[in-house]
Structure 1
Amino acid sequence: MSTTGKELAQRLGPWQLWGIAVGLVISGEYFGWSYGWASAGTLGFMVTALLVAVMYTAFIFSFTELTTLIPHAGGPFAYARRAFGPLGGFIAGLATLCEFVFAPPAIALAIGAYLNVQFPGLSAKWVAVGCYGVFMTLNVVGVGIAATFELFVTVLAIVELLVFMGVVAPGFQWQHFAQAGWAGQDRFQLGSVSGMFAAIPFAIWFFLAIEGAAMAAEEAKDPRRTIPVAYIAGILTLVALALGVMVFAGGVGDWRSLANINDPLPQAMKRIVGGNSGWLHMLVWLGLFGLIASFHGIIMGYSRQIFALARAGFLPPFLAAVHPRFKTPHRAILAGGVVGIAAIFSDNLIVIAGQPLTANIVTLSVFGAIVMYIVSMLALFKLRRAEPLLARPFSAPGYPLVPALALALSSVCLAAMVYYNQLLAAIFAAMLAAGFIYYRLTSHHRAAAESDVMLEGQLIPLDTK
């Protein structure tokens, strides 16, 4: 790639990439998913979660082919641009931005909710803003430091989830988990099948953003070898943790009181050990590491996506600046933070259909993710057909069936989400439309952008106009 003065440092090894892949997602095990219980019940949501786990497993095994073929900071933007040209790349990039820019404010609010358990006087929103300040700074300081920190907090978060399951296990009863398990409660009671479809965004939240490790590809040592290891180990880790946490949390009492809150794990543990137990305080404090791991990791993800889009002329070029000392995309980090903080204080705009602010931010983020998954799988098929001779360090197993399964399930998820979240779908569509207008008005930026060609393996130049 010829991008003089806009190169990222290659410092990440396989364990750091695994830490990023799992850390990006692991907050989804701590909160957000329990909103799915309100729609589908525990048993209905388990069916939804298993279906989504199959989708993600098929997707990751397929997505890894693209990541190793084109190890680029733009991730899905780069794959779609290669397959479908500039407009296809922009659609994938914008959808990815929606996913990665809206996920952090939801996580930051959950951090505030967890701290509120210990300090009831704290404002969750101002805690969230403080988190942005701290972790944007850490991301600016350097990718090596940021990735090492990410690995550290991810390992702590996994240990804490295992501790949670061990502590509550003696109080687990299947009868508690299965009670009213096929329907929700109050106004969320939609019936079994419709409730399961309505719960899709919250099942996706279990795994959302694992693909963000692709955006660290330019900063990885030997990405064609290390990324497959990180992705495959990461998805297996997350599936096991998601199912374990969901079952144990729902089986220690009436799960319905956990369905619409941001801290289901502390509240579930409180039933077993009481409100003053050292175990509970440990869960709150160490549980913060899981939220921090995802929050910090997704800041890394959105900043690289903004950086890649700006470097190629799809966003304002000044966002492509790399810090002269730390070699990190500092302006892209700050720009995503401004949007996230605005979302935190947008109650009147984002509280829709009476749902909590966090639930709606989660849904907007998931809309972006699902569109990106669909475009990425279509890009995989297109590149296989159009450029079959490219060297593929990792080939999607079971091609074409496994990528087709990921594409089909993603399409079903998108259709269900549009049906059950029509106003949020309209907001998401309006954001895409606004992005398209910007795209049409800024062709001169793309014409002036430096060459951005992946030279490995016989890749041909991309059309940048």
Structure 2
Amino acid sequence: MSASQLKPTLGTLHLWGLAVGLVISGEYFGWSYGWAAAGTLGFLVTTLIVAVMYTCFIFSYTELTTAIPHAGGPFAYSLRAFGKTGGMIAGIATLIEFVFAPPAIAMAIGAYLNVQFPGLDPKWAATGAYVIFMTLNILGVSIAATFELVVTVLAVAELLVFMGVVAPGFSFSNFVLNGWAGSDVFGAPAMAGIFAAIPFAIWFFLAIEGAAMAAEEAKDPKRTIPRAYIAGILTLVTLAIGVMIFAGGVGDWRALSNINDPLPQAMKAVVGNNSTWMHMLVWIGLFGLVASFHGIILGYSRQFFALARAGFLPRSLAKLSRFQTPHRAILAGGAVGIAAIFSDGLISLQGMTLTAAMITMSVFGAIVMYIMSMLSLFKLRRSEPDLERSFRAPGYPVVPAIALGLALVCLAAMLWFNSVIASVFLVLMIGGCSCCSIVISLNRGTDASFASQG
């Protein structure tokens, strides 16, 4: 095995744990900001539309993942389909998605801990989370993936417990009261709210595609990845709908719409402040945040690693530690995330909280990456019809076309409602692609290097 080759050690359960774990924090926080934009009923519509997009996307994306099992994921697919320019666009968009999601999750970890320890500064708690889980990722992918599986199972179980505990206090009339919200932009306030809430519905599912970045470390990826992805998307859709409906029906949902810990607060309305169930949710609920935080660190490090190994970023980021993990890539993403945490209060984007702004920035990266991935699928079907595809997108070309069409609608809506963050995202994309171009010009033989790795 070469010094820049990752070791295959992950099975189906590990990959399911990674696919679900990357996302499951989205069931614990972040999504409730969508209520502020659309109301409970409007956001339910948004979530169902986004769930259709993700389901179609995952069934299509799995074809690419199994045909090209590469640590670069979307970067590798777009590079193969569209050359260096396509690779740069997909690679930088994916980096933005995976580097800006962890600060939002880390701040939520700080908020959950602050419930138990009011004197604890959430920013320092968030920074401590970075130090702990970067270290765990550096120690080895097998250890990291096993930990991810354990905390993911606990997080799923906790969401089921949450729904069971608050069920006696659920009232459908609470859920539907003031259920439509939004500014009158498209002639109907409810319609405007539905579009404005898109980033927060996407947060329910954001980063499930990151399991593809562990494809080089998967045993028999042509079999294990499809199983993990299909089971993963079914798990997440069920949990997302259940958690949102139960949380919205326990009282005045508006009290939960702009906070980082909606589930503890929803449970508090049913069982009170001092219930054992309440304390259990706060502590075990941290597992959901930790699962995503830890998994996304693995994801962004593999994207840095793949871009650097291919010569698009400084090759030093592709160096592996003695544990066969890309430690420099892990540290690079952590430095950006910690800087973002301490920018809270110093920088304001469209009047959003740091968490909401980081979620929106991350979603911009994700949507661009989804569009590039679906375009790559169509392109490779034409340009490489003989490429070995152990899994083919069902309902091709309709299913991937639905994913692509809905992704384009989501991007257009986000550009309309988030012009300032869109401008920052564009600057980051241009800056990232410019850096890649400079590094490529300095690293002669990039194509040969990538070909030897891919």
Please report the TM-score for the alignment, with normalisation by the length of structure 2.
Answer: 0.97
2:427 alignment partner, SS class: helix
Which residue identity lines up with residue 397 of structure 1 in the other structure?
P
CA-atom RMSD, angstroms?
1.4
User: 1:383: which partner in 2?
Assistant: 380
Tell me, yes or no, if structure 1 residue 447 matches structure 2 residue 450. no
**Alpha carbons 1:37, 1:199 under 8 Å: kept:** yes
- Whether contact under 8 Å (1:111, 1:291) holds in the other structure is yes
Query: Which position in structure 2 is the counterpart of 1:261?
Result: 259
Task: Summarize deviations over 1:120-160 as a string: whole Å, max 9, x none.
Answer: 11111000000000000000000000000000000000000
Partner of 2:8: 10
Give 5+ residue unaligned stretches, structure 1: 456-461
1: CA distance between counterparts of 2:347 and 2:310? 31
- SS in structure 2 of the partner of residue 346 of structure 1: coil
Q: 2:146 aligns with which of 125, 148, 151?
A: 148
Q: Distance in 1 between matches of 2:436 and 2:199?
A: 28
Q: Does 1:403 align with 2:437?
A: no
- What whole-Å deviation, never above 9, does each CA across 1:345-380 have from its counterpart, x for those lacking one? 112564222221100000000000000000000000
Please name the residue that 1:458 is paired with.
none
1:85 equivalent in structure 2: 83
Amino acid at match of 1:270: K
Aligned partner of 1:416 in structure 2 is 413
Given candidates 68, 71, 76, the residue that maps to 2:69 is 71
Aligned counterparts of 2:163 and 2:191: Cα–Cα separation in 1: 29
- Aligned residues of 1:77 and 1:93 also touching (Cα < 8 A): yes
Q: Does 1:425 align with 2:419?
A: no
**Cα offset for 1:89?**
0.4
Q: 1:365 to 1:349 in 2, by over 3 A?
A: farther
Aligned 8 A contact 2:92 2:433 in 1: no
Distance (Å, rounded) in 1 between the aligned partners of 2:159 and 2:315: 42
For residues 265-414 of structure 1, the aligned pairs below 5 Å read: 265-323=263-321, 325-348=322-345, 350-414=347-411
Q: Sequence identity of aligned pairs in percent?
A: 70
1:147-186 aligned at under 5 Å gives the runs 147-183=145-181
Give, as a single letter, the amino acid of the residue that structure 2 aligns with 1:434.
G
> Which residue of 97, 100, 122 maps to 1:124?
122
Equivalent position of 1:29 in the other structure? 27
Report if aligned partners of 1:70, 1:454 keep a CA contact under 8 Å in 2.
no
Amino acid paired to 1:329: P
Match of 1:216 in 2: 214
Whole-angstrom distance in 2 between the partners of 1:171 and 1:417? 35
CA distance in structure 1 between the partners assigned to 2:431 and 2:345 by the alignment: 21
Whether the 8 Å CA contact 1:12–1:221 is kept in 2: the answer is yes
Q: Report what 1:136 is aligned to.
A: 134
Q: Is the 8 A contact 2:350 2:418 kept in 1?
A: no
Tell whether the 8 Å contact from 1:31 to 1:262 is kept in structure 2 after alignment.
yes
Deviation at 1:57, TM superposition (A): 0.2
Aligned partners of 2:67 and 2:441: how far apart in 1?
Answer: 29
Secondary structure at the counterpart of residue 10 of structure 2: coil
Q: CA deviation at 1:446?
A: 4.2
Matched length: 449
Q: For 2:371 and 2:443, locate their aligned partners in 1 and report how far apart those are by CA, in whole Å.
A: 25
Contact 1:79 1:376 in 2 (8 A): yes
Name whichever of 175-184 and 47-56 sits farther off.
175-184
Shift in Å at residue 445 of structure 1?
4.1
Partner Cα separation in structure 2 for residue 184 and residue 384 of structure 1: 41
The 3 A distance-change label for structure 1 pair 446 and 58 is: farther
Candidates 430, 434, 437, aligned match of 2:431: 434
In structure 2, the partner of 1:20 is 18
Q: Would the alpha carbon gap of residues 349 and 395 (structure 1) be closer, same or farther in structure 2, given more than 3 Å must change?
A: farther
SS in 2 for 1:95: helix
| SS of residue paired to 1:447 | coil
Counterpart Cα distance in 2 of 1:416 and 1:57? 20
Distance 1:386 1:350 in 2: 45
Shift of 1:262: 0.2
Aligned to 2:198: 200
Give a deviation string over 1:325-361, Cα, whole Å, max 9, x none.
2000000000000000011111256422222110000
Q: What is the letter of the counterpart of residue 77 of structure 1?
A: F
SS in 2 for 1:392: coil
Change (3 A) 1:310 1:420: same
How big is the shift at 1:435?
1.6
Give 1:459's aligned residue.
none
CA distance in 2, matches of 1:446, 1:392: 32
> 3-state DSSP class of the match of 2:329?
helix
How far has the Cα of 1:451 moved from its partner? Answer: 2.7
Partner amino acid, structure 2, of 1:447: R
- Cα deviation, 1:371-405, whole Å, max 9, x if unaligned, reads 00000000000000001111100000000000000
Relative distance call for 1:407 and 1:13 in structure 2 (3 A) is: same
What CA distance in whole angstroms lies between the structure 1 residues aligned with 2:178 and 2:258? 16
Report the Cα offset of residue 45 of structure 1.
Answer: 0.1
> Structure 2, unaligned stretches of length 5 or more?
none
1:274: Cα distance to partner? 0.3
Relative to structure 1, the CA distance from residue 348 to residue 266 in structure 2 (aligned partners, 3 Å threshold; closer, same or farther) is closer
Determine if the alignment matches structure 1 residue 106 to structure 2 residue 101.
Answer: no
Give distance in 2, aligned partners of 1:78 and 1:220. 16
**Shift, 1:454, TM fit:** 7.4
Quick one: structure 1 residues 431 and 400, their matched pair in 2 at CA, closer, same or farther if it must change by over 3 Å? same
